[in-house]
């Protein structure tokens, strides 16, 4: 086995929001040991439009000036017409392909996206207090079902400490209630067909431009408001990857999203798909269940949550994972005022912890 120091396996990166929309700076990220790059996005480009090359170049230059690399784009969101399978989807798919070409031109090799209908991730609380005095994002299924879908956006944004929330674009929010009704009438199989249509159009270009597509799991990993779910358990992930068998049709393996369902065996899921070379990007975080479908996010350290982070990291290591890893959401600690889930301190602790596990597993492998 090759050594950790050669850094042939994974690259540790950190999510950063450009355009003054982050309390965390690139200079701070640069000081986290072992973090070499970022996952970023242009949040002001309306969903469905081509990401202009000059904007991407400027973003890359800004990141490189701070001594970091722009490794992953998280996310180029999918226009709702594509997910709905409307005739207008072809125009948006064409734009998506052009964006992939532009990403390739500036040297980005991995694109994270999701195919969740109507909304991106959802929580019932953005600042749930933990015993240690910190606060975290939390999910309670019953509370969510009682929330008025049309008002969710307002509630979420009202609690976001003034920051935009990734994946919650204003135009998407406006159409939310009507969209939910649309999907309620659509069969799951139709949704899978719409997904395959998108993949079959886009993946050949992802191959051509050498940009790996990495779909993010649905978060939470169970259906809400009658909306279809695709990426929430091992069977559905297999089904998704089989829709298009190219390795460019791959995953963002988010331990916390899949970990929302206590039935999911995360290390086993990682082993299955990493051994097939289908995981390109990993989000690592922990969750703590208070009940079935009721959980809080937690510190990364295994005893703080339900996931065994040693087993998680080992599953990546043993399958020679050579993609990107980032710590996912962290707690809000030490009085930090940042975007919910995306403070500096706890994510930096998470990155160091994951790197520590990786180093220990690697050094142990050398002497065996
Ligand atoms: C992220 C997602 O903040 C988060 O929960 O993990 O929003 C993720 O960026 C998207 O779902 C990927 O498209
Ligand atoms: Mn994630």
How does DSSP classify residue 4?
G
Looking at the CA of 341, name the nearest ligand.
1
CA–CA dist 368, 366 (Å, integer): 6
CA–CA dist 310, 286 (Å, integer): 12
> Greater confidence, 4 or 153?
153
Q: Are strands 249-254 and 212-215 parallel, antiparallel or unpaired?
A: parallel
Nearest CA to ligand 1 atom 6: 328
Q: Write the pLDDT tens digit of every residue in 194-240.
A: 999 999 999 999 999 999 999 999 999 998 888 998 999 999 999 99
Ligand 1 binding pocket includes 281 (Cβ within 6 Å): no
Mean pLDDT of 311-335: 97
Choice among 9, 139, 317, 342 that is catalytic: 342
Q: Write the pLDDT tens digit of every residue in 156-201.
A: 666 667 676 676 666 666 677 778 888 988 999 999 999 999 999 9
Does residue 254 have an active-site annotation?
yes
- Grade residue 4 by pLDDT with cuts at 50, 70 and 90: very low
Q: Using the structure block, give the residue that is written with the tokens 């976001």.
A: 160
Does residue 79 have an active-site annotation?
no
Q: What is the 3-state secondary structure (H, E, C) of 32-83?
A: CCCEEEEEECCCCCCCCCCCCHHHHHHHHHHHHHCCCEEEEEECCCCCHHHH
Selection from 67, 74, 58, 75 nearest residue 36 by Cα: 67
Q: Are strands 279-284 and 286-291 parallel, antiparallel or unpaired?
A: unpaired
Q: What residues are paired with 40 via a beta bridge?
A: 73
Looking at the CA of 214, name the nearest ligand.
1
Percent of the chain with pLDDT over 90: 81
- Over the Cα atoms of the chain, what is R_g? 19
Counts of helices then strands in the chain (DSSP H, E): 14, 12
Q: Using the structure block, give the residue that is written with the tokens 């298009």.
A: 244
Structure tokens at 139: 């999910």
Q: Using the structure block, give the residue that is written with the tokens 């996310």.
A: 75
Burial of residue 316 (CB within 10 Å: 0-12, 13-18, 19+) is: buried
Selection from 117, 58, 106, 112 nearest residue 84 by Cα: 117
Mean pLDDT of 71-83: 97
Contact (Cβ atoms closer than 8 angstroms) between residue 154 and residue 139: no
pLDDT averaged over every residue in the chain: 92
Choice among 22, 81, 179, 328 that is catalytic: 328
Question: Ligand 1: distance of its center to the CA of 129 in Å?
Answer: 22
CA of residue 346 relative to chain centroid, distance = 17
Cis peptide before 20 (omega within 30 of 0): no
Q: How many alpha carbons lie under 13 Å from residue 212 in its C-beta half-sphere?
A: 18
By 3-state DSSP, what share of the chain in percent is helix, strand and coil, each rounded to 5?
A: 40, 15, 40
- Among the atoms of ligand 1, which is closest to the Cα of residue 120? 11
Does residue 283 have an active-site annotation?
yes
Describe the strand order of the beta sheet including 135-140 as a list of residue ranges. 125-129, 135-140, 294-298, 286-291
The model's pTM is 0.93
Q: Write the pLDDT tens digit of every residue in 122-156.
A: 999 999 999 999 999 999 999 888 877 666 666 66
Task: Give the phi and the psi of residue 271 in degrees, each rounded to 5.
Answer: -60, -45
ipTM: 0.96
Does residue 329 have an active-site annotation?
yes
For residue 153, the model assigns a pLDDT of 63
For residue 151, the model assigns a pLDDT of 66
Contact (Cβ atoms closer than 8 angstroms) between residue 168 and residue 157: yes
Non-local (6+) Cβ contacts of 205 within 8 A are 97, 100, 101
CA–CA dist 142, 159 (Å, integer): 19
CA–CA dist 219, 297 (Å, integer): 12
Domains and CATH numbers, the chain: 11-366 (3.20.20.150)
Question: Ligand 2: distance of its center to the CA of 368 in Å?
Answer: 34
How does DSSP classify residue 332?
B
Q: Write the pLDDT tens digit of every residue in 39-70.
A: 999 999 999 999 999 999 999 999 999 999 99
For residue 1, the model assigns a pLDDT of 43
Q: How many alpha carbons lie under 13 Å from residue 153 in its C-beta half-sphere?
A: 17
């Amino acid at each position: 086995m090759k050594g950790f120091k050669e850094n042939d396996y994974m690259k540790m990166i950190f999510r950063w929001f450009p355009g003054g929309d982050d309390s965390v700076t690139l200079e701070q990220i640069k000081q986290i040991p072992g973090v070499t790059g970022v996952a970023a996005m242009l949040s002001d480009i309306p969903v469905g439009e081509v990401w202009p090359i000059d904007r991407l170049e400027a973003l890359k230059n800004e990141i490189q000036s701070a001594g970091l690399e722009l490794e992953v784009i998280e996310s180029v969101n999918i226009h709702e017409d594509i997910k709905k399978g409307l005739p207008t989807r072809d125009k948006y798919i064409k734009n998506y392909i052009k964006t992939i070409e532009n990403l390739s031109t500036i040297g980005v090799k991995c694109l994270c996206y999701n195919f969740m209908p109507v909304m991106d991730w959802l929580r019932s609380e953005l600042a749930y207090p933990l015993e240690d005095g910190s606060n975290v994002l939390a999910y309670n299924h019953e509370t969510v079902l009682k929330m008025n879908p049309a008002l969710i956006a307002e509630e979420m944004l009202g609690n976001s400490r003034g920051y935009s929330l990734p994946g919650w674009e204003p135009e998407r929010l406006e159409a939310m209630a009507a969209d939910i009704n649309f999907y309620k009438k659509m069969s799951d199989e139709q949704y899978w067909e719409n997904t395959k249509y998108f993949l079959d159009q886009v993946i050949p270009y992802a191959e051509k431009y050498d940009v790996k597509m990495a779909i993010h799991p649905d978060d939470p990993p169970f259906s809400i408001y009658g909306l279809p779910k695709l990426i929430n358990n091992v069977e559905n992930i297999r089904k998704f990857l089989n829709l298009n068998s190219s390795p460019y049709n791959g995953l963002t393996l988010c331990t916390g999203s899949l970990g929302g369902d206590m039935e999911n065996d995360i290390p086993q899921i990682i082993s299955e798909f990493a051994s097939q070379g289908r995981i390109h990007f990993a989000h690592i975080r922990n969750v703590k269940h208070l009940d079935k479908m009721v959980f809080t996010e937690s510190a990364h350290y295994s005893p703080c949550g339900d996931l065994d982070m040693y087993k998680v990291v080992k599953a990546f290591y043993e399958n020679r994972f050579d993609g990107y890893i980032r710590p996912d959401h962290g707690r809000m600690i030490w009085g930090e005022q940042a975007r919910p889930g995306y403070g500096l301190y706890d994510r930096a602790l998470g990155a160091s912890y994951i790197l520590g596990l990786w180093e220990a597993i690697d050094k142990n492998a050398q002497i065996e």
